[in-house]
Amino acid sequence: MALNNGGPSPWGNPRPGGPWGSPPPTPPGGGGRGPGPDLDDLIRQAQDAVRKIIPTGGGGRGLAILGLIVVALWAASGFYRVQPDEEGVVLRFGAFDRTSAPGLNYHIPWPVEAVETPRVTTENLVFIGFRSGEAAPVRAPVGRDVLEESLMLTGDENIIDIDFVVRWRIRDAGDFLFNTRNPEVTIKSAAESMMREVIGRTPIQPALTEARGQIEDQVRAGTQAIMDQYKAGIAITQVQLQKVDPPGAVIEAFRDVQRAAADRERQRNEAEAYRNDIIPRARGEAERMIQEAQGYRDSQEARARGEAQRFTSVLASYSSAPDITRRRIYLETMEDILRRNPKVVVDDRLQGLVPLLNLNERPAARPAPPAAALAAPTLASPRPQGPAR
């Protein structure tokens, strides 16, 4: 049906082009139609397409074939594919019904069932205390600082500036889609509250140094417990501390305090090392002196006992044979005296010779007499004549 093509206008406009003016000029050889497609042509094309599908004169049979085709297309629309990093969640009339594994699956087509495929292996990040457009690695420099999130009170009533990242992924797609409206906000609130609770029990010095790993583990466990309580279907994989510093306004004074504490600890360690060196040495020296004194005492006691036993044995020998014992003692005493002193023998009975015999020097070796002297006959000396009678 033509929409007032060339006829009078329903609004009383006598112009042939209707209320919008004259019709556009007719192109050469194009008839009386404009350059755009006409509604009649569109309807006619649709009717021709239907006639090609439905045989002429088919009537109800053609409508049945058309219905079967429509039903087949509707049924085929229920096939869907779940990627390896996804999990299919089937909704029946908008309510959760079941989950499907990766691969080719089927569900009742719309409007009965629908499917959502969230990514369950992708690791998501939540930044707390700072904002960064990229995933920051562990201990990486952070972006814009958010003081209302990062400033926290420690267990010893100091203020500390903490920035950290929470890494999470979907553990149960059904719970994730239907039990939490905004998962990132929920994770951020839970993690921030757990961090404030843990820092509120921790002094500032361990929080700045050796307790960082312990803080991360406690915050991750506490946040996971909150997510499990909410049945959010979320797994907290890791909590990473990015920056743990005193507030910027007092950081220089805090560093001075830290340096003073480090110097005090160093001097204490040096004193401990000196004490550990000198005390064992003094104890060893004292033990050595004690051992030497005990050894000297034992030796003197043993020597005294030996002397006493020797005197007792001599006394027993003297009681049994006084003369022999006196002579033996005299001889032993003289032997000891003569062995330790120089000896010179003088004989008054010798006439014409030096009456001295030095026993401390060895006599020089006398030369051997010549062989001629040994071979010569000796002359007998005349016997002295006795007095004449």
CATH of the domain at 174: 3.30.479.30
pLDDT of residue 295: 93
Least confident of 62-76, 163-177, 204-218: 62-76
Q: Is residue 97, in this structure, part of any structural domain at all?
A: yes
Least confident of 20-34, 90-104, 216-230: 20-34
- Distance of alpha carbon 389 from alpha carbon 381, whole angstroms: 23
Same domain for 229 and 128, yes or no, is: yes
pLDDT of residue 140: 45
Mean pLDDT confidence for 113-130: 82
pLDDT of residue 300: 93
pLDDT in tens, 28-52: 444 444 445 577 787 777 767 666 6
pLDDT of residue 85: 67
Q: Is residue 374, in this structure, part of any structural domain at all?
A: no
Q: Is residue 236, in this structure, part of any structural domain at all?
A: yes
Q: Is residue 341, in this structure, part of any structural domain at all?
A: no
Same domain for 152 and 203, yes or no, is: yes
Count of the separate structural domains present in the chain: 3
CB proximity list for 197: less than 8 A, separation 6 or greater: 222
Q: Which of 215, 245, 275 represents a domain boundary (last residue)?
A: 245
52-88 b/e (C-beta count within 10 Å ≥ 16 → b): eebeeeeeeebeeeeeeeeeeeeeeeeebebeeebbb
pLDDT in tens, 49-63: 666 665 555 556 767
Average pLDDT, the chain: 76
Find the domain containing 95 and state its range. 79-116
pLDDT of residue 218: 93
Same domain for 240 and 131, yes or no, is: yes
Least confident of 24-28, 70-74, 196-200, 228-232: 24-28
Q: Is residue 283, in this structure, part of any structural domain at all?
A: no
Q: Is residue 316, in this structure, part of any structural domain at all?
A: no
- Distance of alpha carbon 50 from alpha carbon 154, whole angstroms: 77
Same domain for 241 and 129, yes or no, is: yes
Mean pLDDT confidence for 223-247: 90
Q: Is residue 200, in this structure, part of any structural domain at all?
A: yes
- Distance of alpha carbon 108 from alpha carbon 164, whole angstroms: 45
Instruction: State the virtual CA torsion across 235, 237, 238, 239 in degrees, nearest 10.
Output: -10
Query: Kindly report the CA angle at 292 between 291 and 295, in degrees rounded to 5?
Result: 85
Task: Indicate if the pLDDT at residue 6 is higher than 70.
Answer: no
Same domain for 139 and 202, yes or no, is: yes
- Distance of alpha carbon 128 from alpha carbon 223, whole angstroms: 13
Task: Indicate if the pLDDT at residue 298 is higher than 60.
Answer: yes
- Bigger pLDDT: 22 or 87? 87
Task: Indicate if the pLDDT at residue 269 is higher than 90.
Answer: yes
pLDDT of residue 239: 92
ω into 28 cis (within 30 of 0):
no
Residue 374 has φ and ψ, to the nearest 5°, of: -70, -30
Same domain for 143 and 193, yes or no, is: yes
Task: Indicate if the pLDDT at residue 321 is higher than 80.
Answer: yes
345 by DSSP, 3-state: which?
strand
- Distance of alpha carbon 253 from alpha carbon 187, whole angstroms: 35
234 by DSSP, 3-state: which?
strand
Tokens matching residue 287:
């033990």
Q: Which of 185, 211, 245 represents a domain boundary (last residue)?
A: 245
Task: Indicate if the pLDDT at residue 354 is higher than 60.
Answer: no
Q: Is residue 103, in this structure, part of any structural domain at all?
A: yes
- Bigger pLDDT: 127 or 318? 127
Residue with tokens 């139609």: 33
Same domain for 104 and 205, yes or no, is: no
Task: Indicate if the pLDDT at residue 22 is higher than 80.
Answer: no
Q: Which of 204, 222, 245 represents a domain boundary (last residue)?
A: 245
